Amino acid sequence: MLKVTPILLALLYALAMYRFSAWRTARELDARSTELADPRLRAVCDRLARALDLPRVRVHLYEIEPVNGLAAPDGRIFITRGFYRKFQSGAVTAEEMASVIAHELGHVALGHARRRMIDFSGQNALRTALAMVLSRVVPGLGVLIANGLTTLLAARLSRGDEYEADAYAAALLTRAGIGTGAQKSLLSKLAALTSGAGGAMPAWLMSHPKTEERIAAIERLEHRWQQSLT
């Protein structure tokens, strides 16, 4: 029982930290966001809503400059001010913005926020267990190795979520009559839009898959859909 206690404590600590992080994120978003009221984006959001048989898809404008879209733990969808500026300048089309919104809707619909809570808690417990075992084998390095292994695991799980959200968005965009072209073109612009965020970090260490791999996955979906119609 004594050997298990540190793992249970790590699990409880991870759950508490996740809850606190979700609460703090919600407060930050409440304080720094308003509902987006752009008529051009409202038009494409209405197309997504009809495809989902919903009365409306609400999108909020988060007042920070980094280019990003996000789905809050409470299910709200946000576009950052920096991303919206790219749209206003013509660097991003309304259809491309719709692809971002559809992707974030995918994260909500597929329960990724809830799954991340479970994964985060499990990873914290795993990190503690690995550190305990490895510290006996390689004193002084066990904690570093455990942290590295769990970081790799977290990145892999996150990449899986991105592929799933991309697939959801591709299906939704197709059903809405927007198509996947805007989704693929937006992905191809991401590096330039975000000023190459992520640098030369290996793809297997990144929380998002490589752009070309995401586009290839969407094209494989398109190919399967075309085959099913013939």
Write out pLDDT tens, residues 190-223. Answer: 888 876 444 444 444 455 678 899 999 999 999 9
Q: Which residues of 195-220 are buried (b: 16+ CB within 10 A; e: fewer)?
A: eeeeeeeeeeeeebbeeeebbeebee
Which single residue is written with the structure tokens 């979700």? 22
How far is the C-alpha of 105 from the C-alpha of 140, rounded, in Å? 44
The model's pTM? 0.74
Q: What's the pLDDT score for residue 194? A: 79
Contact status, residue 55 vs residue 35, Cβ threshold 8 Å: no
pLDDT of residue 199: 42
- Which tens digits make up the pLDDT trace of 126-151? 566 656 665 666 676 656 665 665 66
Q: Are 12 and 122 in contact (CB under 8 A)?
A: no
Q: Determine contact, residues 48/172, Cβ cutoff 8 Å.
A: yes
Q: pLDDT, tens digit, for every residue of 152-163?
A: 656 565 677 899
